[in-house]
Amino acid sequence: MKSRETVIRLKKFQVDERRRRVAQIESMISEFERISSDLEREIKTEQDRSGIHDPGHFAYPTYAKAAIQRRDNLKRSANDLKIQLEDAKAALNEAFEEMKKVELLDEREQMRVRSEEDSQVGPETFDLMRSSARA
């Protein structure tokens, strides 16, 4: 009985860990996308300020070039994280299914034990219970 409870706790812990991992990845993706949007606005502002919108132009602002590179790196990282997110979600679903299986097996075992206990309780047991209650 104890080992089954330990397995159930372990499975719940694994599900919680995977949920935290999914939330962490989602948070990172959201943060990268937010920073990328901020950089996009800064690039636009810098281009408007300088009047040069062509990154190939010799006088294109250095800050805008650096911001474009950083924005592109963040977008690439966010896309990589989206792949990791899919894997993490799959692992979460798998862990959840395993936990449900273990819980279901535990529930079935508990029902089996109860039915065995109920079947072992015969009329003699009820007579014994009644006589001890009167005393």
Q: Quote the pLDDT of residue 3.
A: 82
pLDDT digit string (tens) for 93-134?
999 999 999 999 888 888 888 888 777 755 555 555 555 555
Instruction: Compute the C-alpha angle 64/67/69, nearest 5°.
Output: 110
58: DSSP letter: T
Taking the C-alpha atoms of residue 25 and residue 29, their distance in angstroms, rounded to an integer, is 6
Q: Enumerate the domain spans of the chain.
A: 2-134
What is the CATH code of the structural domain delimited by 2-134?
1.10.287
Q: What is the pTM of this model?
A: 0.74
Q: Rg for the chain (alpha carbons), in Å?
A: 31
What is the residue-averaged pLDDT of the chain? 89
